[in-house]
């Protein structure tokens, strides 16, 4: 059994996407915002510490810092992103909805909107000229967060529509993995959990058990992501390991 994940927003992905320039103002403010969003999402999901005034306040404050700098003025790395203002406006609208739902004590609908917002955050990096691999990581994170959102909302029909998209993403991951036995084993485990998730959705099994398997799948996908990055960061090491096998 894989360890249980508790995150809503893919913090590790944001850390990865800001790794090229971690000390920049943009990197620091988006990381602070995503961290606060994760804390709010986890608190709402687990119903810890209602009415979530502090968690919501932290999200609002970090969004205020982020949006006051970048609402109409993208960071240097994204200056050619023609959809920047549209993305910022869409995020601002979702944050307004989250705030309203939390204030009305509608905690699970608020959590649903946190997941929806989390799944779009990778889009802020689309204009950064990032590699095809990192684009693939963004797609994977967004699709898995959307799947989790559909399941948590008990919308199994929409969840079923994610099946082929996630299968295609897993296939892209497989093609990018190093030619090592450990990588193939990790992929096989991810594929196995993927199949369990959609079998349970087909059988209309309880939300809680399906969500646990989705979290497990998210962890395996993160593991695959790490294996792909290891190949990029330590190409010689990967080559030596391959030759030794």
**What CATH number should be reported for the domain holding residue 162?**
1.20.120
Domain end marker among 82, 97, 130: 130
| CB contact set of 64 (below 8 Å; sequence gap of 6+) | none
Residue 95 has a pLDDT of 97
Average pLDDT for residues 118-126, to the nearest whole number?
A: 91
Domain end marker among 102, 130, 158: 130
Residue 234 has a pLDDT of 57
| CB contact set of 118 (below 8 Å; sequence gap of 6+) | 8, 9, 10, 34, 37, 38, 41, 145
Residue 238 has a pLDDT of 43
> pLDDT per residue over 170-224, tens digit each?
999 999 999 889 899 999 999 999 999 999 999 999 999 999 999 999 999 999 9
Question: Is there a single domain that holds both residue 110 and residue 194?
Answer: no
Question: Is there a single domain that holds both residue 58 and residue 71?
Answer: yes
**Higher per-residue confidence, 79 vs 203:** 203
Provide the residue range defining the domain that includes 5: 1-130
- Any alpha helices (H) in the chain, and if so which ranges? 11-17, 25-46, 53-70, 84-103, 107-118, 132-152, 156-160, 163-176, 181-202, 207-233, 235-244
User: Which pair of structure tokens corresponds to residue 185?
Assistant: 């084993």
Average pLDDT for residues 138-165, to the nearest whole number?
A: 95
Domain end marker among 76, 110, 130: 130
pLDDT at 120 over 80: yes
**Angle, helices 132-152/107-118, rounded to nearest 10 degrees:** 170
Q: What DSSP element (H or E) covers 73?
A: none
Residue burial 4-39, b: 16+ Cβ < 10 Å; e: rest: eeebbbbeebbebbbeeeeeeebbebbbbbbbbbbb
Highest mean pLDDT among 14-23, 87-96, 233-242: 87-96
pTM of the model: 0.85
Q: Provide the pLDDT confidence category of residue 232 given band limits of 50, 70 and 90.
A: low
Segment 109-114 long-range contacts (CB within 8 Å, at least 24 positions apart): 110/44, 111/8, 111/41, 111/44, 111/45, 111/152, 112/149, 112/152, 112/153, 114/8, 114/9, 114/37, 114/40, 114/41, 114/44
The number of beta carbons lying within 10 Å of the beta carbon of residue 3 is: 8
Question: Is there a single domain that holds both residue 47 and residue 116?
Answer: yes
Question: Is there a single domain that holds both residue 218 and residue 157?
Answer: yes
Q: Any idea what DSSP says for residue 127?
A: G
Rounded to whole angstroms, the Cα distance separating 244 from 161 reads: 42
Q: Provide the pLDDT confidence category of residue 5 given band limits of 50, 70 and 90.
A: very low
> Dihedral angle at the C-alpha atoms of 132, 118, 93, 101, nearest 10 degrees?
170
Which one, of 72, 14, 73, lies nearest residue 38 by Cα?
Answer: 14
Q: Strand, coil or helix: what is 160?
A: helix
Question: Is there a single domain that holds both residue 34 and residue 100?
Answer: yes
Question: Is there a single domain that holds both residue 73 and residue 27?
Answer: yes
Average pLDDT for residues 54-70, to the nearest whole number?
A: 96
Question: Is there a single domain that holds both residue 57 and residue 87?
Answer: yes
């Amino acid at each position: 059994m894989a360890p249980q994940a508790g995150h809503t927003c893919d913090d590790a992905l944001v850390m990865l996407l800001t790794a090229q320039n971690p000390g920049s103002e943009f990197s620091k403010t988006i990381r602070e915002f995503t961290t606060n969003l994760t804390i709010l999402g986890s608190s709402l999901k687990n119903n810890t510490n209602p009415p979530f005034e502090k968690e919501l306040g932290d999200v609002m404050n970090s969004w205020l810092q982020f949006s006051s700098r970048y609402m109409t003025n993208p960071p240097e790395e994204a200056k050619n992103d023609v959809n920047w203002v549209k993305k910022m406006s869409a995020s601002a609208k979702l944050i307004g909805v989250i705030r309203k739902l939390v204030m009305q004590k509608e905690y699970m609908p608020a959590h649903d909107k946190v997941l929806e917002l989390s799944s779009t955050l990778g889009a802020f990096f689309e204009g950064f000229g990032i590699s095809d691999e990192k684009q693939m990581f963004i797609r994977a994170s967004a699709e898995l967060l959307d799947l989790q959102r559909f399941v948590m909302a008990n919308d199994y029909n929409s969840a079923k529509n994610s099946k082929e998209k996630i299968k295609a993403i897993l296939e892209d991951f497989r093609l990018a993995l190093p030619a090592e036995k450990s990588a193939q084993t990790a992929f096989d485990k991810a594929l196995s959990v993927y199949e369990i998730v959609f079998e349970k959705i087909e059988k209309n099994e309880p939300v809680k058990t399906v969500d646990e398997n989705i979290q497990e799948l998210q962890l395996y996908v993160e593991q695959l992501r790490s294996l792909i990055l290891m190949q990029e960061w330590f190409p010689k090491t990967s080559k030596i390991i391959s030759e030794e096998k």
